[in-house]
Amino acid sequence: MINSQIAKTGSLIALFIIFFSGSVFADSRKYMDKPLMFGPQNTLLSMSTTFEPDTAFLLDQNDFFVSASYIVINTFAYSSNSDKTNNPSGSASEFHSNDSDGYSVFMDSEMARRPFKIYYGFSSSLEFQFTYHDFIFYPGNLDSTVEEFHKSLNIDNQGREITDKNRLDMYVHDNETGENIYIVTENSPEFVRESMTLGIKYLLFETKSSASSISFSSNYGDYYIEREVNESTSDIELEKHTDFNDHNITLRYSSIGQDFTIHAAYSVTTGKNTLLPKSPDRLFYYFLGLNWHLTDDWNVLVQALRYSSPYPKDSTSNIGEDIIEISAGLRWFFGKESVIEIGFIENQTHGEQNIDIALFSTLMFYL
C-alpha cells in the first residue's frame, strides 16, 4: 500500500514537471513565491514533527528567510458514543461502551499558535531551518461565527448550535480500557512553548523555472505539549519522553510560470509513541498548492493537504480515516522581498478527527 501511494505521488509530480517544463519566470522573488506554510492543524499532531509546506527552491548562500505567523484554530467534534450525542446536557467526559478497541473523542476548544521561522542559506544546495512554535488553549469566541458561516454555506453544524458556547473540553477516550487518556479543560495561563524544530533542505535539481528538493526535520523541546498539558490521571504507560523522538522526510517539487506557481510534496513522519499509544508509527502527507499571480504585488493561493489520522483505524466513527484540509489566502508583496498574508484553513473531511476552521496571518522577509 505504501509503495502504491509513493507511485501515485511520483506520477503526479512527474506530470507537473512535463506540463511546466517550458515555463519562464524571471522574477528574483521566486523563493518568496512559497505556498502557505501551514501543515496539519489537528491538535494532537502538535506532539510530532509534522510536514509544513514550503517551496522546493533554496535560499541563496548566506541569505536569511524570516517569518512570523498567528493562527487561531477552532475545533468541535465528537464520536458517536459520546454522552453528548443527541443529548446537549450530557457530560463531555463520558462515553458509552462499544466494540471498538481504538479511541473516541469529544473536542470543543480553541487554540492559538505562533510559529516563528528563521532559515539560512548555507550553500547553493543546502539550507538550514529552525522553527519555534508556542501556543495557548482557551475557550475562545468563534463558535457563533463558525455556526453562521456553516449556515451560509448550508453545511451541517453537527449539533454545535445546541451545545454550550466557548468551552474548553478535550477528551480522548480509550474504548478498550474505558479511561480518558488525554484531557485538556484548563485554559493556558499564557503562551507556552509547543516545540522547536531543526531541519535541513537539500537541493536535488534546479532549472530556471522549477526545482526539486528533499528535507529532513525533527522536533525537540516539546515535553509540555506531549505530557504536561494532559490532565488525565490514567495509569497508561508512556515511554519516557526524549527530544528528537520522531523525524520527518519530505520530497518537494515547485514550478513557477508567468501566471501560476505549482507546489507538490510527499512527506512521511516516523516515530514510535510520539502521539497516543495506539497511534500509527508513520503519518503520511500529500500536498498540492497553486499560487495565482494576480498582479505583481498580489497573489491568490489555494492548496490541499491530505494526511493520516493520529488515531488508529479501528477507532469509533471515522476518526481513524485520512484528513483533508483546504487552505486559501491572499498574499501582498509590500516590498520586493517582504510579504503579508491572511487566509483560512477549512476541514473537508467533516469527521471527528479534525479541526473545524483556522484563521491565520503571516509576515515574511527575505534578508
Residue 326 is which amino acid? I
Residue 31 backbone dihedrals phi, psi, to 5 degrees: -65, -35
Contact by Cβ (8 Å): 131, 54:
no
CA contacts within 13 A on the Cβ side of 93: 10
Condensed to tens digits (0 to 9), the pLDDT of residues 221-257 reads 988 888 888 888 876 655 667 889 899 999 999 999 9
Residue 341 backbone dihedrals phi, psi, to 5 degrees: -130, 150
Provide the pLDDT for residue 151.
53
Q: pTM here?
A: 0.86
How is residue 119 written as a grid cell?
A: 532559515
Each residue's pLDDT, cut to its tens digit, for the chain (367 residues) gives 444 444 444 444 444 433 433 333 434 578 999 999 999 998 889 889 999 999 999 999 999 999 999 999 988 888 888 888 878 778 889 998 877 788 889 988 889 999 999 999 999 999 999 999 999 988 766 555 555 555 555 555 455 555 555 678 999 999 888 899 999 998 888 999 999 999 999 999 999 999 999 999 999 998 888 888 888 887 665 566 788 989 999 999 999 999 999 999 999 999 877 788 889 999 999 999 999 999 989 999 999 999 999 988 876 677 888 999 999 999 999 987 899 999 999 988 766 778 888 999 999 999 9
12 contact partners, CB below 8 Å, separation of at least 6: 264, 288
